[in-house]
Amino acid sequence: MLSTQALLGAIGVGEKSATVIGATFQWFLRDLTGMLGGILFAFYQGSNLDSNAKMWRLVADFMNDLGMLMDLLSPLFPSSLIIIMCLGSLSRSFTGVASGATRAALTQHFALANNAADISAKEGSQETLATMSGMGLGMLLAHVTRGHDLVVWVSFLSLTIFHMYANYKAVQ
Q: Which pLDDT tens digit goes with each residue over 20-73?
A: 888 888 889 999 999 999 999 999 888 888 788 888 889 889 999 999 999 999
Q: pLDDT value at position 164? A: 93
Give pTM, 2 decimals.
Answer: 0.81
Q: pLDDT value at position 54? A: 83
Q: pLDDT value at position 119? A: 84
HEC-encoded secondary structure of 84-132: HHHHHHHHHHHHHHHHHHHHHHHHHHHCCCCCHHHHHHHHHHHHHHHHH
| pLDDT over 80 (residue 129) | yes
Amino acid at 160: T
Q: Which pLDDT tens digit goes with each residue over 65-88?
A: 999 999 999 889 988 988 999 999
Helix (H, G, I), strand (E, B) or coil at 1: coil
